[in-house]
Amino acid sequence: NFMLTQPHSVSESPGKTVTISCTRSSGSIASNYVQWYQQRPGSAPTTVICDDNQRPSGVPDRFSGSIDSSSNSASLAISGLKTEDEADYYCQSYDSSNWVFGGGTKLTVL
């Protein structure tokens, strides 16, 4: 099995762009799709990116996902930051039959 490692926290100012990384410990990041979930305090997670870079309907195009095979990592970028983007973000991938979550990143918009 592999692990997904995320930074514990990131912060940025409103209107700026922030990027959150998710590094896979073994095996290729490109082997299995990566999803990103947003979780606001006291709420259930919601999907902001699926299949590496696809936005579900209703998710603003300020959110984008990508993968980088050279660093074996996935990234979530949020542009034009708003205070409402302040939340925990989790990456998630899978192996043959199991999900794997990253440890989560707390985004502070200040």
Partner 1 sequence: QVQLVQSGAEVKKPGASVKVSCKTSGYTFTGHYIHWVRQAPGQGLEWMGWINPNSGGTNYGGTNSVQNFQGRVTMTRDTSISTVYMELSRLKYDDTAVYFCARGGSGWYQSDYWGQGTLVTVSS
Residues forming the site for partner 1 (CB under 8 A): 1, 3, 32-33, 35, 37, 39, 44-47, 50-51, 56, 88, 90, 92-94, 97-104
Q: Which of residues 59 and 77 has its CB atom nearest to partner 1 in the complex? A: 59
Q: Which of residues 73 and 105 has its CB atom nearest to partner 1 in the complex? A: 105
Q: Which of residues 66 and 103 has its CB atom nearest to partner 1 in the complex? A: 103
The nearest distance, CB 107 to partner 1, in angstroms, is 14
Cβ-based neighbours of 95, under 8 Å, separated by 6 or more: 1, 2, 27, 32
The nearest distance, CB 100 to partner 1, in angstroms, is 7
Q: How far apart are the first and last CA of the chain?
A: 37
Structural tokens at position 89: 């973000």
Beta-bridge partner residues of 26: none
Q: Which of residues 85 and 88 has its CB atom nearest to partner 1 in the complex? A: 88
The nearest distance, CB 102 to partner 1, in angstroms, is 8
Phi-psi group of 52: left, alpha or beta (phi > 0 → left; psi -120 to 50 → alpha; rest → beta): left
Output the CA angle 98-85-10, nearest 5 degrees.
75
